[in-house]
Amino acid sequence: MKHFLKVLLLAIVSISFIFTSPAYCYINPGIGSLVMQVFIAVFFTAIFTIKHFWKNIKNYLAKKFGKHPSQ
């Protein structure tokens, strides 16, 4: 069954690449600021997540390297 799904997915992807048409689109200058905002948001989200879970990360690393976890 898994083999059938892989073959089916490959066939669908192949057909979608065969029957493509050119996309005539315009990328305006504002897209650069949008991309920059996305990168900044991902960066600060990662920092907040690490800060939020820092104690769990520290305890995990302490257990991993054989030190006593902090209380």
For 38-52, write each residue's pLDDT tens digit: 999 999 999 999 888
Mean pLDDT of 9-25: 87
Q: How confident is the model at residue 68 (pLDDT cuts 50, 70, 90)?
A: low
pTM, two decimals, is 0.47
What pLDDT, in 10s, does the model give residues 56-67?
888 888 888 887
Say if CB 70 and CB 59 are below 8 A apart: yes
Q: Is the pLDDT of residue 37 over 90?
A: yes
Do 69 and 63 touch, CB atoms closer than 8 A? yes
Max Cα–Cα distance, the chain, nearest Å: 61
The DSSP output letter for 52 is H
- Structure tokens of 13? 């992807």
More confident residue, 2 or 44: 44
